[in-house]
């Protein structure tokens, strides 16, 4: 990202181009910091400053501050008065509430059946969701957490987007990122996750293709139950 600072501070030229560059840089920094949180490299309660992040990525302070504010809006960091920012610390109760919230959203998606999902999806979009499902299932069964998180987030975002409502897709994506942020530190303590993570992505998309909302809802209920039980066991050291 080095070189962004110079573009940000240039005086003349096309102001719209400068704005686009800064907004793109802001998004890139937000995504990079989100990746750091989900990878466990920015752990809960870690304090970060705009200066620290700006120096790390070789950019000016403005897009960094904006990126951190964006992450605060997503619930991943907290703004501290006169102290910068702190990576948010989630509790098991938070996780339960997030799972409940995401379940309500997904139930809402399937409430009217699967026809509206299939009707609103192009063949290309649905094929993309299916590919995400297959990759997520493969990573889950292999216990490859880093690959799983990426494909899982893309799978659910693309699946939700088939409903045609960006507010639903954005809210579900936010809940899923927060769930992963909570789970990652406990999952990374496990020496072997092979076969222990939920891997029903492909089965779920097949239920949608069969126009079987009841089966889809059963799978999601099983997934939520598995998530809560598994994380509780890890927290208890079982």
21 and 76, same domain (yes or no): yes
Q: Regarding beta strands 47-48 and 84-87, do their DSSP bridges make them parallel or antiparallel, or are they unpaired? A: antiparallel
> What pLDDT does 118 receive?
73
117 and 63 in one domain?
no
Q: How far is CA 139 from the centre of its chain?
A: 16
The pLDDT assigned to 21 comes to 56
| Same domain for 102 and 219 | yes
Is residue 49 domain-shared with residue 71, that is, in the same domain? yes
Q: Do residues 169 and 226 share a domain?
A: yes
Instruction: Give 10-residue mean pLDDT values along the chain (238 residues).
Output: 42 46 83 94 94 94 94 94 89 95 87 70 88 97 95 94 88 94 94 94 93 90 94 86
CA distances from 60 to 15, 66, 149 (A): 17, 11, 30
Distance CA 177, CA 31 (A): 11
113: phi > 0 → left, psi -120 to 50 → alpha, else beta; which?
A: left
What local confidence, expressed as pLDDT, does residue 15 receive? 45
User: Residue 32 gets which letter from DSSP?
Assistant: H
One domain for residues 44 and 126: no
Same domain assignment for residues 60 and 76 = yes
Answer yes or no: do 30 and 135 share one domain.
no
Of the three residues 87, 122, 143, the one that is the final residue of a domain is 87
Q: 205: domain CATH number?
A: 1.20.120.530
- The whole-model pTM stands at 0.84
Structural contact between residues 49 and 68, judged by C-beta atoms closer than 8 angstroms: no
User: Domain of 81?
Assistant: 4-87
Element (H, E) at 79: strand 77-80
29 & 80 share domain: yes
Q: What integer pLDDT is reported at residue 1 of this predicted model?
A: 57
């Amino acid at each position: 990202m080095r070189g962004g600072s110079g573009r940000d501070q240039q005086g003349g030229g096309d102001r719209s181009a400068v704005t686009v560059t800064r907004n793109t840089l802001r998004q890139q920094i937000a995504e990079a910091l989100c990746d750091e949180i989900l990878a466990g490299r920015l752990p809960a309660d870690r304090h970060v400053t705009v200066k620290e992040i700006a120096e790390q990525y070789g950019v000016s302070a403005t897009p960094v501050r904006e990126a951190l504010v964006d992450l605060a809006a997503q619930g991943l960091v907290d703004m501290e008065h006169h102290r910068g920012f702190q990576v948010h610390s989630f509790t098991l109760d938070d996780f339960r509430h997030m799972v409940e919230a995401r379940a309500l959203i997904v139930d809402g998606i399937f409430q009217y059946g699967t026809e509206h999902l299939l009707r609103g999806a192009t063949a290309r979009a649905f094929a993309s969701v299916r590919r995400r499902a297959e990759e997520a299932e493969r990573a889950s069964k292999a216990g490859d957490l880093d690959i799983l998180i990426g494909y899982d987030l893309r799978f659910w975002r693309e699946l939700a987007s088939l409903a045609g409502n960006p507010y639903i897709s954005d809210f579900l994506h936010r809940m899923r990122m927060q769930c992963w942020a909570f789970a990652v530190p406990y999952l990374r303590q496990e020496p072997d996750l092979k076969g222990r993570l939920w891997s029903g992505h492909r089965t779920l998309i097949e239920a949608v293709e069969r126009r079987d909302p009841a089966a889809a809802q059963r799978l999601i209920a099983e997934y939520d139950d598995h998530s809560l039980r598994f994380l509780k066991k890890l927290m208890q050291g079982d």
